[in-house]
């Protein structure tokens, strides 16, 4: 079945190529690869770095990690950064998305003390990338919160907002003369999910259905502060762009001609994505989110809604804080309407309602949650275009995992072929303003609670070798060819 599908795609692509010289990525479209600090750097306490929540989780609660591992060494990019830059160069991409470790730069997380070795480390990478004609795309925060904030409730405590703003100003000052694309925060939904006790943060037993909304509220405010600091103090001299990266699961109505399924599917997208996108690209949380959480809170006999309210001034401050929209996409699901569950165990998923499921015939990969459903990407790109007035979009992550050491990674090649094709269809046929696509990931790395058991890399990393040897997988050649020809083959 798969072979037939692949054959059909190759036929479709070659027909496109014969019919038109234009089945190519536009000149201003950027190809890239992505990683994040905690997942690759290692050097967890090297040269004055402070401790993050993920260091602590890896040391004290590694039972939560599938292989009991931690990120102390990871890919050892703290030492092997030069080789990483050369691997990026070999791929022929336009940009490399990395994140900064907050505690490598400000070791205490809350103090003003800067760690010169951390600054030096990022300066070396940024300069080397630029020397090699690669644009560094920098994410300020990719989940490695300074441990200082954890006993205070992490992102559920508004105190993080001002400290994040301080950190943002610090990095714009240190590196902004060379950075043209900034991302404040990676995937708030996943950050805030950790306060349901699912992943990440070390503070268990937060009140369900409350903490994740408090977190969302503070993440949005922190993002807006960073945006305004850049906009007001740095943009005029540095000329960069700044935004946030939201992850988006596409919810397809189980039966598109049933209005109830259509409503349930959209409601899911609004609860997961709109809760962040609407305050930034519209004004305030989506109406359906405000109403449903308020109604269910009432049924739970609470004195107010579990969803915090923004003041009018806060709504204005968050509105418009994007120069483009960063999205990470991995998942498509079907959603059908369902009776609302009882109000006994509140949480965001239950508030969102509906029933979600996957088509068992969809091709899978090493990560159980990822299925190869490229039309989901095309659909969501169109939905964003229609819902938020066709913003510029950068796909800041998209990728495929193996759960073993695969070097002839045809599954990954097929994944990029079909997802890049869906991206191109959205651009050329649907008029969506997609401006870039970054593969997750440059190399195999520390996959959070999955430890080293899932491999997303274009390059293989040998985690049992003290040298953390990197080896190109077959997909490197494929990706190189795409970036060289700017077409899909």
| Catalytic residue numbers, as ranges | 187, 397
Site string for ligand BGC, 284-313 (x = CB under 6 A): ------------------------------
Site membership for ligand BGC, residue 249 (CB under 6 A) = no
Please pick, from the candidates 31, 440, 463, 478, the single residue that binds ligand BGC as defined by CB under 6 A. Answer: 440
Site membership for ligand BGC, residue 170 (CB under 6 A) = no
Query: For ligand BGC, which is the closer residue by CB, 135 or 247?
Result: 247
Least distance (Å) between residue 397 CB and ligand BGC: 6
H or E element in which residue 357 lies: strand 355-357
Site membership for ligand BGC, residue 397 (CB under 6 A) = yes
Query: For ligand BGC, which is the closer residue by CB, 41 or 247?
Result: 247
Return the ∠ at Cα 30 (arms to 415 and 405), rounded to 5°. 35
For residue 272, the cross-strand partners are none
Query: For ligand BGC, which is the closer residue by CB, 351 or 447?
Result: 447
Site membership for ligand BGC, residue 99 (CB under 6 A) = no
Site membership for ligand BGC, residue 272 (CB under 6 A) = no
Cα 17 to the chain's mean position, in Å? 32
Query: For ligand BGC, which is the closer residue by CB, 144 or 266?
Result: 144
Under rule CB under 6 A, how many of the chain's residues touch ligand BGC?
11
Helix axis angle, 116-131 to 77-91, nearest 10°: 20
H or E element in which residue 160 lies: helix 159-175
H or E element in which residue 418 lies: helix 410-428
Least distance (Å) between residue 66 CB and ligand BGC: 13
Do 165 and 230 contact (CB within 8 A), yes or no? Answer: no
CA-to-CA distance for 310 and 317, rounded, in angstroms? 10
Please pick, from the candidates 55, 212, 225, 247, the single residue that binds ligand BGC as defined by CB under 6 A. Answer: 247
Site membership for ligand BGC, residue 36 (CB under 6 A) = yes
Do 175 and 138 contact (CB within 8 A), yes or no? Answer: yes
Site string for ligand BGC, 63-92 (x = CB under 6 A): ------------------------------
Helix axis angle, 410-428 to 2-19, nearest 10°: 40
Query: For ligand BGC, which is the closer residue by CB, 55 or 187?
Result: 187
User: How many residues in total does the chain contain?
Assistant: 489
Please pick, from the candidates 91, 447, 479, 488, the single residue that binds ligand BGC as defined by CB under 6 A. Answer: 447
Strands (E), 379-489: 393-397, 434-440, 459-461, 470-472
Site string for ligand BGC, 182-211 (x = CB under 6 A): ----xx--x---------------------
Least distance (Å) between residue 303 CB and ligand BGC: 35
CA-to-CA distance for 436 and 387, rounded, in angstroms? 20
Query: For ligand BGC, which is the closer residue by CB, 293 or 439?
Result: 439
Residue 426 half-sphere exposure toward CB, CA atoms < 13 A: 31
Please pick, from the candidates 150, 251, 328, 421, the single residue that binds ligand BGC as defined by CB under 6 A. Answer: 328
H or E element in which residue 103 lies: helix 102-105
Site string for ligand BGC, 448-477 (x = CB under 6 A): --------x---------------------
What is the bridge-based pairing of β-strands 459-461 and 470-472? antiparallel
Do 403 and 367 contact (CB within 8 A), yes or no? Answer: yes
Return the ∠ at Cα 268 (arms to 389 and 370), rounded to 5°. 95
Do 274 and 352 contact (CB within 8 A), yes or no? Answer: no
Provide the token pair at 372. Answer: 């190869």
Least distance (Å) between residue 489 CB and ligand BGC: 26
Binding site for ligand BGC (CB under 6 A): 36, 39, 186-187, 190, 247, 328, 397, 440, 447, 456
């Amino acid at each position: 079945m798969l072979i037939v599908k692949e054959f059909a795609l190759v036929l479709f692509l070659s027909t496109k190529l014969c019919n038109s010289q234009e089945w190519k990525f536009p000149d201003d479209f950027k190809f890239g690869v992505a990683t994040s600090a905690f997942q690759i750097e290692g050097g967890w306490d090297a040269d004055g770095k402070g401790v993050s929540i993920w260091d602590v989780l890896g040391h004290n609660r590694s039972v939560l990690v599938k292989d009991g591992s931690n990120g102390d060494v990871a890919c050892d990019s703290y030492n092997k950064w030069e080789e990483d830059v050369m691997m990026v160069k070999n791929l022929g991409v336009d940009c490399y998305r990395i994140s900064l470790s907050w505690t490598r730069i400000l070791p205490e997380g809350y103090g003003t003390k800067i760690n010169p070795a951390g600054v030096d480390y990022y300066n070396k990478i940024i300069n080397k990338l630029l020397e090699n004609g690669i644009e560094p795309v920098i994410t300020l925060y990719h989940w490695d919160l300074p441990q200082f904030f954890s006993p205070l409730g992490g992102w559920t405590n508004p105190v993080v907002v001002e400290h994040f703003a301080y950190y943002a100003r610090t990095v714009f000052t240190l590196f902004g003369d060379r950075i043209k694309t900034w991302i404040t925060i990676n995937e708030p939904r996943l950050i805030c999910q950790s306060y349901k006790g699912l992943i990440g943060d070390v503070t268990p037993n937060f009140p369900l259905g409350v903490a994740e909304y408090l977190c969302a509220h503070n993440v949005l405010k922190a993002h807006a502060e960073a945006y305004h600091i850049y906009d007001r103090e740095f943009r005029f001299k540095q000329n960069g762009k700044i935004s946030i990266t939201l992850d988006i699961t596409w919810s397809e109505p189980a039966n598109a001609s049933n209005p109830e399924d259509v409503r349930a599917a959209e409601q899911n997208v609004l609860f997961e994505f709109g809760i962040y996108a609407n305050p930034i690209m519209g004004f305030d949380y989506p109406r359906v989110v405000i109403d449903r959480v308020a109604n269910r809170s009432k049924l739970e006999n609470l004195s107010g809604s579990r969803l915090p309210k923004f003041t009018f001034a806060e709504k204005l401050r968050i509105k418009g804080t994007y120069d483009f929209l960063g999205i990470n996409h991995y998942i498509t699901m079907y959603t059908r309407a369902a009776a609302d569950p009882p109000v006994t165990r509140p949480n965001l998923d239950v508030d969102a309602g509906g029933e979600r499921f996957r088509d068992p015939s969809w091709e899978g990969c090493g990560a159980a949650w990822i299925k190869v459903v490229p039309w989901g990407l095309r659909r969501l790109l169109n939905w964003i275009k229609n819902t938020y007035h066709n913003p510029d979009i950068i796909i800041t992550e998209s990728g495929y995992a193996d759960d073993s050491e695969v070097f002839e990674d045809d599954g990954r090649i097929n994944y990029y072929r079909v997802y890049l094709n869906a991206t191109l269809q959205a651009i050329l046929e649907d008029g969506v303003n997609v401006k870039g696509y970054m593969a997750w990931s440059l190399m195999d790395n520390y996959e959070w609670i999955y430890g080293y058991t899932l491999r997303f890399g274009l390059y293989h990393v040998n985690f049992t070798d003290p040298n953390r040897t990197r080896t190109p997988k077959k997909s490197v050649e494929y990706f190189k060819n795409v970036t060289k020809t700017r077409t899909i083959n």
